[in-house]
Amino acid sequence: MRFNFQFFSNPDQNLQFIKRLVLILGRTMRYLSFGTFAVLIYQMGYTTDPAKVLLTSRLFEVMVFLLGWVILVKNLFSNPAQRYKKLVFELLVAIFLIFSALLRWKVFGDFSEDALLFTRKYFILNALVFLIFVQELGKFSLLVNRLKLSPSLVFILSFSILIFIGTALLYLPLATTSGISLIDAFFTATSAVCVTGLIVVDTSVAFTHFGQVIIMTLFQVGGLGIMTFTTFFGFFFKGSLSIENSLFLRDYINENNVGEITSTLIKIIIFTVLVELVAAVLIFVWTEPALFANDSGRWFFAAFHAVSAFCNAGFSTLSSGLYEPGFRYLYHMHLVVAVTIILGGIGFPVFINYYNYAYRVLRGAVRSAIYGEKYRHTPRVSNINTRLALYTTGALLLVGFVCYWYFERNHTLSGLSPYGKLVTAFFGSVTPRTAGFNSVDMTAMSMPTILIYLILMWIGASPGSTGGGLKTTTFAVALLNTWSVATGKMRVEVFGRQITAETLRKAFAVIALSFLTIGMGVFLVTLFNPELALIDVAFEIFSAFSTVGLSLGITSSLTTGSKLVVAVVMFLGRVGTLTILVAITRKTAELRYKYPEETVFIT
C-alpha cells in the first residue's frame, strides 16, 4: 500500500523523496514511542500532584495521537513489497491510537465509564504503547553496531541500562505494597538483571503482583542477555538481520558461523520458551491447589518459578523460598525446579551442538528409511567445549550430592523420608551452581557443607548459559593445565585435541580476577558491617559474584555501603571481570619483537 504522489517531475527524485520521508517517519516513530512509554511510566506513579497528573495525562494523550498519525502516514508511504498482513495490522494499531486519544478528548461526546473502559482504564492502550516500545527497541538494537563500540562495552552498557530501567520501574508506587527506598530498588533490580536472587526485602510481601511481574521480566531478559532479547524482537519485527548485525551478535550467542546466526538465535528463544513452558505446567501439576487462593495465582507461581529456575535467578514468591511450609515436602516439584536449573545452566552452545547432532542423525535415518539411501557418516558436532561442560557439570553434581548426603545426614536431612533425603541432597547439589533456591533452612547447614557450597558457587554454571560464576570449562581447563604441569607435559590435551595457549591464559586471568573481586568484596563488607561473622560475609560475596542468591541470612541487615558493594560484585560476576578489562583497555598492536626468555621461580 503506497500513495504515489508526484512531488517532482523526475520519478527518481520522487522515489528518493519518499524513501527519505519514510526514513524520517521511522525515526520519529522510534523516539516518539520511547517518549510515550517514558511519560506512561511517569504518570503511573511518579507524580501525585493533581496539576502534574493532569499535565502528564494530556501530554500522554497528545503523544499517543501523534504516534498514531506517524504510524498511519509511514505505512501509507511504505513499500508495497512489505508483508500485507503487517501493513494492515499497523494501520489498525494507528487507527486505534488516534481513536483512543479522540475519545479521551470527548470529541465524539461524553460517554459512560463502561463505554470508555478500554481507554479510561488504560489497560489495552497502555499494553499497546508498551508493545510498540518493545518493537522499536528491538529495531533500534539492530543499529547498535553503528556506534563503533566494542562488543564487550556494548554488553556491559546493555546490562547497566537494563538495571537503570529496572530500578525506575521497581521504584514505582504501583510496584510495591508500601514503598521502597531507592537503594533497595537498585539492589533488587541489579539482583534480578544479574540473575542472582539476593534480596534485601521480601519479594512476596514488599512487591505487588505488578512488581513481581517486573522482577520476572528483568531476570528473564537478564538471563538471556538484553542484546539477545532485543535483537530477537528486532529480527521478529524487521524480518531479517544484516551482515553487520550478524557479525556483531555472534559473540553474544557463541556462534562462529555467520550464516547460522539467525537460526541459532531462534533456536535459543524456542528452547527457552519450551523448557519454561513445560516446567511451568509440571510445577502447576505438582503443587497443591489448597495452597493458593485460585488457579490464576497457582499459574503465576508456576510461571514465576519456572522462569526463575531456567534463568538460574533464585527469586521466589515465597518468603522462605521452597522451604515455605506447605511447599518444603513437594519433592516432585523440587525435582522439576532442579532439572530446569540444570538445563538453564548447561549452556546454549551445548544445546545447539546436540540439536545439530540429533537433527543430522534423524534426517539420515528418515532418508535411509524412505529413499533407501546408505548411511552417511555424521561429522563430529560435540566439540571440546560441549564435552568439558557436560563432564564437569556431571562430576560437580555427583560430588555435591555425595558431600551433601554425608555432611547433612544429621542436620537438614535428619527426619526426612528416604525419597525426601534423595531429592533434597540432589537439590542441594544443584542449587549452589548459580541457582539460589533453598529447600532447607540455610542457617541449619553444617560447616563442611557451607565450605563445599563456597567451592560449588565459585565454579558456577557453563559458558553461554543463564548462570554465572567462574564457569565449568574454565575450572576444567585450569585442572587440566595443572595436571599437565605436574606430569611434565608441554601441552594441555583432552579428548584428542590440544587446548590453545590463549584459552589457558584467559582461564588463569579469570581465576585471578575472581579472587581479587571476591577478596575486595569481603574486605569492604566487613568494613561497613564489622558486626557480621566472616563466614557469613564470605558466603554472601561468593554468592553475589557467582550470581547464586543463597545467603546465610545477612542480606537484609546490610548497610547502604554494603548493599552497594554487593550490587557491584553481582554486576561484575554477571558481565565478567575480564570482559570489563577488555572493554576499558586499549588493544596492544601485534608485537614484532621478542625478548630473551628467563625463568621465574614459582615454587
Secondary structure of 88-136 in HEC code, one letter for each residue: HHHHHHHHHHHHHHHHHCCCCCCCCCCCCHHHHCCHHHHHHHHHHHHHH
DSSP 512-565: HHHHHHHHHHHHHHHHH-TTS-HHHHHHHHHHHHTT----SS-GGG--HHHHHH
Task: Check residue 275 and give its pLDDT.
Answer: 92
Which one-letter DSSP state was computed for residue 494?
A: E
Contacts 24+ apart (CB under 8 A), 96-105: 96/68, 96/128, 97/64, 97/65, 97/67, 97/68, 97/71, 97/125, 97/128, 98/65, 98/68, 98/69, 98/72, 100/64, 100/125, 101/61, 101/62, 101/64, 101/65, 101/68, 102/65, 104/61, 105/61
**Alpha-carbon torsion 460, 553, 302, 211, what sign?**
negative
Confidence category of residue 196, pLDDT binned at 50, 70, 90: confident
Q: Which of the pair, 208 or 82, is modelled with greater confidence?
A: 208
With H, G, I as helix, E, B as strand and everything else as coil, classify residue 498: strand
Of 24-38, 227-241, 378-392, which range is least confident?
227-241
Task: Check residue 560 and give its pLDDT.
Answer: 92
pLDDT in tens, 40-78: 877 766 666 677 777 888 888 888 888 888 888 887 776
With H, G, I as helix, E, B as strand and everything else as coil, classify residue 419: helix
Of 327-341, 480-494, 512-526, which range is least confident?
480-494
Task: Check residue 430 and give its pLDDT.
Answer: 92
Longest dimension (CA), the chain: 90
Give percent above pLDDT 90 in the chain. 28
Averaged confidence pLDDT in the chain: 81
Q: Which residue bears the cell 577478596?
A: 519
Average pLDDT for 496-521: 89
pLDDT in tens, 211-248: 899 999 999 888 877 656 555 555 555 555 555 555 55
Task: Report yes or no: 295 and 289 within 8 Å, Cβ to Cβ.
Answer: yes
Task: Check residue 221 and give its pLDDT.
Answer: 86
Residues 448 and 452: their CA atoms lie apart, in Å, by 6
Average pLDDT for 334-342: 93
Confidence category of residue 88, pLDDT binned at 50, 70, 90: confident
pLDDT at 449 over 90: yes
Task: Check residue 363 and give its pLDDT.
Answer: 77
List the grid coordinates of 442. Answer: 540455610
Of 91-100, 269-278, 357-366, 401-410, which range is least confident?
357-366
Model pTM score: 0.83
Task: Check residue 309 and give its pLDDT.
Answer: 92
pLDDT at 475 over 80: yes
> Helix %, strand %, coil % for the chain, to 5?
70, 0, 30
pLDDT in tens, 302-316: 999 999 999 888 899
